[in-house]
């Protein structure tokens, strides 16, 4: 009888783990999940910043988004910016990481130098970029004149403003991608290269194509996803250097959200843009992971 009673008693769940994780779960919900729910709810209203009364309007903000040429143009500018920055930062970071990996005695020095743009505050660096790219007194234009070219208004010409911001964005992200690729290169075992040398893979290009780059698959996937998300969140360079100009040529989706929320006080519509922005980043991240995971070697 005693044994049967013992067998019939169900073990009580151990709540100690949940109690220990409780504060972290609570903070995660307050800082991440709750704001997303609030933004989603506000996107269904006509709330204006500072207003006391607002009402439920359903999907009208999303319908307005489809008819808003400014939002469409900002989304197009964002895609163009991402298509320039992500491949450039990826390739530049991989190239620099391989070159730094080969220089053993100055490796730490180069790591610090190339990572400085990532740690620096861009608002302060914007003054430097404005001086460098100034159409009249900037050193870049002085160099162009010395080489026989005409001066270029990099930040005020609609044809050059967005590509110029993309170059600056590449400069910002190159340090981050370089450090990540250096970490990936450090994890590659030397035995593979020794075995490849015995098999006749002596040239650097051959070793890179057949060993280094395939083995960097997980690192490359991580760099690609994080760089894409960061590039889509471009705001500081636009706000500090061009303010969306000239003529909206550099207005990105995140800067458009800022204008709608804090310049035009149309918070409900800005929340709708934020929901679309969040869904877009999530969809692109999942698409990158699904399509690239099949080619990643773990």
pLDDT digits (tens, 9 = 90+) for 141-178: 999 999 999 999 999 999 999 999 999 999 999 989 99
pTM: 0.88
Q: If you compute the radius of gyration of the chain from its CA atoms, what whole number of angstroms results?
A: 25
d(CA 114, CA 132): 19
Residue 132 contacts residue 216 (beta carbons within 8 Å): no
Domains annotated for the chain, with CATH where assigned, are 68-293 (1.10.3720.10)
pLDDT per residue as tens digits for the range 32-46: 899 999 999 999 999
Q: Rounded distance, CA 164 to CA 237, Å?
A: 10
Distance CA 62, CA 228 (A): 25
- Terminal-residue alpha carbon distance, the chain: 54
- Distance, CA of 238 to CA of 251 (rounded, Å): 7
Residue-level pLDDT, tens digit, the chain, 298 residues: 445 555 555 656 667 877 888 888 889 888 889 999 999 999 999 999 888 888 999 999 999 998 999 999 999 999 999 999 999 999 999 999 988 887 767 777 777 787 777 777 777 888 899 999 998 889 999 999 999 999 999 999 999 999 999 999 999 999 899 989 988 888 888 787 777 777 666 667 777 887 888 888 889 989 999 999 999 999 999 999 999 989 899 999 999 999 999 999 999 999 999 999 999 999 988 888 887 766 665 4
């Amino acid at each position: 009888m005693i044994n049967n009673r013992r067998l019939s008693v169900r073990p009580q769940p151990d709540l100690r783990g949940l109690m220990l994780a409780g504060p972290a779960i609570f903070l995660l919900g307050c800082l991440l999940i709750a704001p997303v729910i609030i933004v989603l709810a506000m996107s269904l209203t006509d709330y204006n910043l500072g207003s006391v009364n607002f009402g439920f309007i359903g999907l009208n903000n999303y319908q307005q988004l489809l008819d808003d040429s400014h939002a469409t143009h900002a989304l197009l500018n964002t895609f163009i910016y991402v298509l320039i920055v992500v491949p450039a930062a990826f390739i530049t970071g991989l190239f620099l990481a391989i070159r730094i990996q080969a220089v053993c005695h100055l490796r730490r020095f180069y790591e610090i130098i190339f990572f400085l743009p990532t740690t620096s505050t861009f608002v302060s660096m914007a003054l430097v970029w404005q001086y460098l790219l100034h159409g009249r007194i900037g050193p870049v234009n002085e160099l162009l004149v010395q080489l026989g070219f005409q001066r270029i208004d990099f930040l005020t010409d609609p044809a050059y403003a967005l590509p110029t911001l993309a170059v600056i964005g590449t400069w910002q992200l190159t340090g981050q991608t370089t450090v990540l690729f250096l970490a990936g290169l450090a994890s590659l075992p030397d035995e593979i290269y020794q075995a490849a040398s015995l098999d006749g893979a002596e040239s650097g290009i051959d070793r890179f194509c057949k060993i280094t780059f395939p083995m960097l698959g997980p690192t490359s996937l991580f760099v690609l996803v994080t760089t894409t998300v960061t590039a889509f969140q471009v705001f500081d360079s636009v706000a500090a250097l061009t303010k969306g100009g000239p003529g909206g040529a550099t207005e990105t989706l995140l800067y458009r959200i800022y204008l709608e929320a804090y310049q035009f006080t149309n918070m409900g519509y800005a929340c709708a843009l934020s929901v679309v922005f969040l869904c877009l980043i999530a969809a692109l991240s999942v698409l990158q992971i699904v399509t690239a995971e099949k080619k990643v070697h773990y």
